[in-house]
Structure formats: structure tokens, C-alpha cells
Amino acid sequence: MNFLCSDLEGVFIPEVWINVADKTGIPELRRTTRDEPDYGKLMRFRMALLREKGLKLRDIQDVIATIRPLDGAVELLDWIKQQLPMVIVSDTFTQFADPLIAQLNRPTLFCNELIIDGDGYIADFALRQQDQKRKVVHALQNLNYTVIAMGDSYNDTSMLSQAEYGILFRPPENVIRDFPQFPVAHDYKELKEIIQSIL
């Protein structure tokens, strides 16, 4: 039986941190896992920059409240859920994700937690577990599922490599170059066709 695991940002919703960068006028926050494969290093950079600029969790949540799903995302998710079981596995945080997941008709989401200090700043983060995306796929395989995985960035590639079928969705050229073994979908129509070819 097949099971689908997908990233969230860049696949169904816009990149949260890019939106935060644009709304706050802090271009350094546009740096994502498309640019920096080391997620811990990236988050420490973000937390230090937010504190330096005086931005708290509430400021980021105010930006997130304005984000809408990518065009066609809700329809694709509804179609996927009719074909096979699925879960979204993301490096985002529960404090960010809830209003976004609500707009996607609440698919199952596995993600991380932020640690907020008494002043409302992001002080740290707690990963569900190291390399959780790959480990979710591995756990499903241990339950005798054949896994289709899809994502757009470096932090998705261990999940794609672990799965029987890995798909890159609208990745940057550097990710395509570094991981030529994965088929690339440039829009939802192509993504749907690739999934259908596997089922």
C-alpha cells in the first residue's frame, strides 16, 4: 500500500521566512533551506537576527496571518487524500503552522516546537527528532508502506532518498543539480501526473 509524505513550505504554501523578510524589510531573513542545508545553523542565524531587530513571535505570527496557500494547493491536497493516506512533514513550528494548516483543510502535520522566552522572543527550538523527515518515511516503511515523498529543498532530500519514490517540486537549480536522481515537477499538473504514474 502506498503512503505520501510531503514538505509544507514551497509545496502547498509560500515560504514563511521569505514573507517575513519582505513584510519586515529584513532581506537577510530570505535565507532558507534552499540556501543553507544546515537547519540548526539557519535557525540560530534567524533567532539572533530577530532579537537584534527587536522582532518577537507575535510579529512573525502577524505576517503568517496574511499568508494564503499557493494557487491550486487545496485542490491538489484534496485529490491526494482521495488517492492514498498522506502526512505533511515540515521543519516549521506549531506556533507558525496552525493558521496555514487550517486553510489547507487540516491535513495531518508533523513539525517542531519553538521555545519562547518571557519577553516573547524566540529563544530556542525543539526538533521533534533529528532528521525527522527521513525517520517518518522509515517508520512508514517498517509498517509495510511504499512511500512517495515530495519536497523542494535540501532539507527534504534525505526524506526523498529514503522513500521508494522521491519527487522534487519547483526546486531551485542548485538542488536540481545536486540531486539529479529525482524527477522534477514544475507545477501541480506535472506533480499530479508523476503521482498518478506511481499509483
Residues marked active site are found at 7, 9
| Bridge partners for 2 per DSSP | 146
Q: Beta strand pairing status for 146-151 and 165-169? A: parallel
Long-range (24+ apart) CB contacts under 8 A made by 71-74 are 72/188, 73/11, 73/12, 73/13, 73/104, 73/188, 74/103, 74/104, 74/105
What's at 30, amino acid-wise? R
Q: Which residue has the cell 508523476?
A: 194
Decide: residue 164, CB within 10 A, 0-12 exposed, 13-18 middle, 19+ buried: middle
